[in-house]
Structure 1
C-alpha cells in the first residue's frame, strides 16, 4: 500500500506535540496545537490511527479475506498492549534512575518509580491488566481497547456504516456513566481516556479511511459550505483558547463563549473538541491538501514523517524523552538564559526523537552491517 506522506508527517507532528506538551516548563509547548484550538495532539493521534486502520483493513480484506484482517489487528492489539507494559516498565525505571542521580521531574508521577522497585510483579500485573494506566502512556490503553474490538466493530462498520455510526454516537452520548462501570486504580471513575467517548473519533477515522474514495467526492459537492463552516468552527475555538490564555481580563468573554459551547471535557471527548478536530481534518484533507503535500516533502516534513512511521517505537521514545527533557528543563535558571536553554532542550529532544525513529526504520540496514562485520572476524 502506497504511503501518504502527509499522514506520516501529521502522525509525527502529533507525537512531537505529545512529547513537548508533557514537558511542563518547556518553551515550545506554548506553540503546540493545543494553544490555538480546543483539541490537542491526542485527538489527532487517535483520528489518524483510526484512519490508518480503515485503510489497511480494506486492503488486507480485499487481498487475503476478512479473517486475515481480523487476525492482523488482533496481533496489532497485542503489540500495542506489549508496548504499554514494556513502556510502563521503562518509564518507571527511567524515572527511578533520574531520581537516583538527583534529577527531579514532574512529567510522570513519582510513585511509578517506587512501585516498580518495591513490588515489580504487582506493578507489571496491574499495568498488564490495564487496571492502572501510567500517565503519558494512557492513550495506548485506549488504543488497545479499540484494536481488540476491531475484529467485530470494523466488519459491522463496513457492512452497515450508518447503523454502526448510530450505535457509536449512542455509546458516545452515554460515555460517562458507562466509563464509571470500569474498575480502575484511579480515584476517579473508569479510564482517564474514556473509551466509550473516544471510540467515536476512532471509528470516524476508520470510516474515513475505509470509505475515503466514496466520502471525499460526495463532500466535495458541498466543499465551499464545509470550508466556511470549518473555518468558522476553528475561529470560534481560537477565541475560546485565547480567552483562556488571557485569563482574568477576558473572563466575561470566556463566560459568554461558554454559554454557547457548555463545557469542554477532554477525557470523554466533548462535542466541541470533536467538531474542532473534524473541521481541521476537512481543511487539511481538501482545501489545504496541496500545501500539506508540499510540507511533507520538505526536510522538516520528511523528518516528522519518519517519526510518524516509527509507530510504537516513536511513541515510547517520545514518552522517555519528555521525562528527560522535563528533568533538564528543571535545572535551567528562571531568566532569559534559562529560556534559551529550555528552548535548546526542546529542540534537542525533538531531534533525538527523529534520530531514534530514523535508526529504528533503518535497523535492518545497520544491524546487517554489524552482523556482517562480526561474521568476517
Structure 2
C-alpha cells in the first residue's frame, strides 16, 4: 500500500523550482549555487524524478481505491490541464519577451529565448505549438511532463504489481534510444531538448521509489560510513563535484584530466540523459535520503515555505517561467549591476513563495466554506 504525502518530496520539488528560475536568469550570481555547479545533474533531474514519484503516489492510490479506468481518466484529465497551461504559458512568455526586447537595445532577447521561429514563420509556429514541437527556452520541462504523464496509464497497473518488470523495460528503452536515434521531432535542432524516450526512465524510477517507500523493511542500524553503497554514492557525488568545479578553470582541468577518460566522459548529454548524469542524480538522491531520514527538519518556517511551493509546483513553475525574462530585462536595463542581479533573483523567489502561500490560503478558505455549508 502506498504511503501518504512526504513533506521532504514537496521540499525538494520547491527547491528545484527555485533553482530552475535562478538557472534561467542569465548572469545571475545565485545561479552559481544551484545543483548544476556541483555535479553532472541539475534541477531538471530533480523535477522529473519527483514528478514520477508524486504521480505514482497519487494515481496509484486512486487505482487501488477506485479502479483502473477512474485512475486513467484522472491522469488524462490532468494531462489535458497541463497541455492547456502549456499553450497559455507560451503565449504569455512570448508577450513578455517581445515587451522586454523592445526595452533592451544591447541584446536580442527574442533570439536568445528561441522565439525566432515564431517571428519568421508565425503560422507554422502556431501549429508546432499545438503539436508540442515549438518549445522556446524555459518551456522544455512542461511538454516533457505532459508526454510522460500521458503514458502513465500504460504502465501504472503493472508497476504496482511487478515494479521490477517496468523498471527493466524502461531501462532497456533508455539504453537503446541514443543508439537507435529515438526522439520526438521539434523545430530548430529537429529533436526535443529533453528526449522523452530516455527521460522516461528517470520518471519511472521516481515512481518505483514511491512504491518502495511504501513497503516495510528492516532498519539498517549500521553507521552510514559502514554501508558500502552509501560510501560509494558519496564518493561519486564528491568526485563529480570536484570535476564540475574544475570546469571553471579549463587549464587546470586539461592538465590533470587523462585524455582517455575525457574522451569517454564527454560530451555529457542532457538531451539523452547521459548515464553519468543519471548516476550522479541517483547517488545524490540516495545520499540525501540517508542523511535526512526523518521529516522533522521540514517543520521550520523556511522549509515550510519551500514545501508549500512543492505542493503547488505547476503554478509556481509557470510563475518562474514568466519571471525569468522580466528579471533578465531589469538586470540588462540596470547594466547587469551585481546588486540588481541579487535583488531580482531574491525578489523572484519571494514572489514564487508568495504565490504558493496565496494558493494555500485559498485552498483552506474553500475547505472552511465547504465545512460551514454542511448541515450540522
Query: Same-fold call, TM > 0.5?
Result: yes
Kindly indicate whether the alpha-carbon contact (under 8 Å) linking 2:19 and 2:35 is maintained by their aligned counterparts in 1. yes
Change (3 A) 1:217 1:246: farther
Change (3 A) 1:245 1:152: same
Kindly indicate whether the alpha-carbon contact (under 8 Å) linking 1:23 and 1:323 is maintained by their aligned counterparts in 2. yes
Change (3 A) 1:283 1:145: same
Q: Does 1:148 align with 2:150?
A: yes
Q: SS at the partner of 2:151?
A: helix
1:373 corresponding residue in structure 2: none
2:374 corresponding residue in structure 1: none
Kindly indicate whether the alpha-carbon contact (under 8 Å) linking 2:184 and 2:195 is maintained by their aligned counterparts in 1. no
What's the CA shift for 1:123? 3.5
2:86 corresponding residue in structure 1: 84
Kindly indicate whether the alpha-carbon contact (under 8 Å) linking 1:91 and 1:319 is maintained by their aligned counterparts in 2. yes
1:250 corresponding residue in structure 2: 253
Kindly indicate whether the alpha-carbon contact (under 8 Å) linking 2:113 and 2:136 is maintained by their aligned counterparts in 1. no
| CA RMSD of superposed structures (Å) | 2.8
Normalised TM-score (structure 2): 0.87
Kindly indicate whether the alpha-carbon contact (under 8 Å) linking 1:108 and 1:136 is maintained by their aligned counterparts in 2. no
Kindly indicate whether the alpha-carbon contact (under 8 Å) linking 2:113 and 2:137 is maintained by their aligned counterparts in 1. no
**Aligned-partner Cα distance in 1 for 2:265–2:50:** 25
2:217 corresponding residue in structure 1: 217
1:161 corresponding residue in structure 2: 163
Q: Does 1:128 align with 2:127?
A: no
What's the CA shift for 1:32? 0.9
2:202 corresponding residue in structure 1: 201
- The total of aligned residue pairs comes to 361
1:278 corresponding residue in structure 2: 282
Q: SS at the partner of 2:187?
A: coil
Kindly indicate whether the alpha-carbon contact (under 8 Å) linking 2:184 and 2:196 is maintained by their aligned counterparts in 1. no
Q: SS at the partner of 1:185?
A: coil
Kindly indicate whether the alpha-carbon contact (under 8 Å) linking 1:50 and 1:204 is maintained by their aligned counterparts in 2. yes
Deviations 1:329-375 (A, max 9, x none): 222346xxx21221122111111111122223333567999xxxxxx
> Which consecutive residues of structure 2, in runs of 5 or more, have no partner in the other structure?
369-376
Change (3 A) 1:250 1:20: same
Kindly indicate whether the alpha-carbon contact (under 8 Å) linking 1:57 and 1:210 is maintained by their aligned counterparts in 2. no
**Aligned-partner Cα distance in 2 for 1:113–1:351:** 31
Kindly indicate whether the alpha-carbon contact (under 8 Å) linking 1:12 and 1:305 is maintained by their aligned counterparts in 2. yes
2:299 corresponding residue in structure 1: 297
1:238 aligned to 226, 238, 241, which one? 241
1:35 corresponding residue in structure 2: 37
What's the CA shift for 1:246? 2.1
Change (3 A) 1:35 1:96: same
2:371 corresponding residue in structure 1: none
Deviations 1:137-188 (A, max 9, x none): 1111111111111101222322332222221111111222555563321224
**Aligned-partner Cα distance in 2 for 1:287–1:366:** 36
Q: Does 1:226 align with 2:225?
A: no
Kindly indicate whether the alpha-carbon contact (under 8 Å) linking 1:193 and 1:268 is maintained by their aligned counterparts in 2. yes
> Which consecutive residues of structure 1, in runs of 5 or more, have no partner in the other structure?
370-377
Normalised TM-score (structure 1): 0.86
1:8 corresponding residue in structure 2: 10
**Aligned-partner Cα distance in 2 for 1:116–1:2:** 47
What's the CA shift for 1:59? 1.3
What's the CA shift for 1:286? 2.5
What's the CA shift for 1:296? 2.1
1:96 corresponding residue in structure 2: 98
**Aligned-partner Cα distance in 2 for 1:260–1:71:** 45
